[in-house]
A and B are shown apart, each in its own frame.
Chain A
Amino acid sequence: SQQGEEDPQALSIQEGENATMNCSYKTSINNLQWYRQNSGRGLVHLILIRSNEREKHSGRLRVTLDTSKKSSSLLITASRAADTASYFCATDAWSGGGADGLTFGKGTHLIIQP
C-alpha cells in the first residue's frame, strides 16, 4: 500500500513561475527521495534528503523535510516547459537488516504552460 499522499495531484502553472509539491508519509524513515517521470518512462532521481536534514538544494530544486509532521515539499523555481512531468516522493525505511525497497506516494502531475 502507498506510504502517503502527494498534494496536489495535479498542478498547472505558467512558465517561469515556481511549483511547489507536498508529500506526506506515515512511518519513520531513513530518507526521502524525489523522482521525476516523463510520460510513463523510467524514473529520474532528483534528490535525496536524509531524516536528519531539513533542507537540501540542487540547481532549481529545493526540498524540505519535516519529520515531526512527516511531510516533505519539493519546490521547482523558474519553471520551464521541460519540467512538465509526474513527480513522486518515495520513502526509505531501510533498516540495514532487511530488504526494504521504496514506498511511493501517488505523485503530482505538473504541467508547465508556455
Chain B
Amino acid sequence: SAVISQKPSRDICQRGTSLTIQCQVDSQVTMMFWYRQQPGQSLTLIATANQGSEATYESGFVIDKFPISRPNLTFSTLTVSNMSPEDSSIYLCSVRGLAGTADGTDTQYFGPGTRLTVL
C-alpha cells in the first residue's frame, strides 16, 4: 500500500480562522478524496480532489467552506475556512488507484488523519 502522510496531525484553532491540511502520497495515485469523521461518528465523504480542475463536492459540502487543491498526482490540500466548533473533527485523506496492488485500482487507503479542535 502507499504511504500517506498528513500535516498537521492535530491542531487547536480559534473560531473564525482557517486551517489548511496537507496530504502527501509517496507514489502517484489516480484519485484522492477527503473525508470528515465527527466525534464518535463514522466517516463522511467531503469531496474528490481532481487534478487540474475543481473538486467534486458531496451534498452538504461547499467549495467556499472547504476549498481543495490538487496540483499533482501525489499531493492535495483541504482548507477548513471560517471555522466554528462544529468543524471539530478528524479529517482524513484517502487515495485509490495504486499501481502494483493485488486489488488493482479499487482499494482505498487512508492517511493517519488530522484531528482538529475549534474553540
Contacts and interface: CB of A to CB of B under 8 A. Distances in A.
Given A30-B106, A42-B92, A102 B112 contact: no
Interface string A87-114: 0101010100001111111110000000
Contacts of B106: 30-31, 48, 50, 92, 94
Contact of A35 (B1, B56, B110, B113): B110
21 contacts: A2-B42, A30-B106, A31-B106, A33-B108, A40-B113, A41-B113, A42-B110, A44-B110, A45-B108, A45-B110, A48-B103, A48-B107, A50-B106, A88-B43, A94-B106, A101-B33, A101-B35, A101-B94, A104-B42, A104-B44, A106-B42
Contacts of A88: 42-43
Given A2-B42, A99-B50, 11 more contacts: A31-B106, A40-B37, A40-B113, A43-B92, A43-B110, A45-B1, A92-B106, A101-B58, A102-B45, A104-B43, A106-B42
Interface residues of A, number: 26
A99 B32 CA distance: 10
A35 B35 CA distance: 14
The size class of the interface chain B forms with chain A is 20 to 34
Contacts of B108: 33, 45, 90, 92, 101-102
Nearest to B102: A48
A103 B112 CA distance: 19
Interface in A18-44: 30-31, 33, 35, 40-44
Interface string B99-119: 000010011111111010000
A101 to B, nearest CB: 4
Interface of B: 1, 31, 33, 35, 37, 41-45, 48, 50, 56, 58, 90, 92, 94, 103, 106-113, 115
B42 A40 contact: no
Nearest to B50: A99
A42 B50 CA distance: 22
A40 B107 contact: no
A99 B42 contact: no
A32 to B, nearest CB: 10
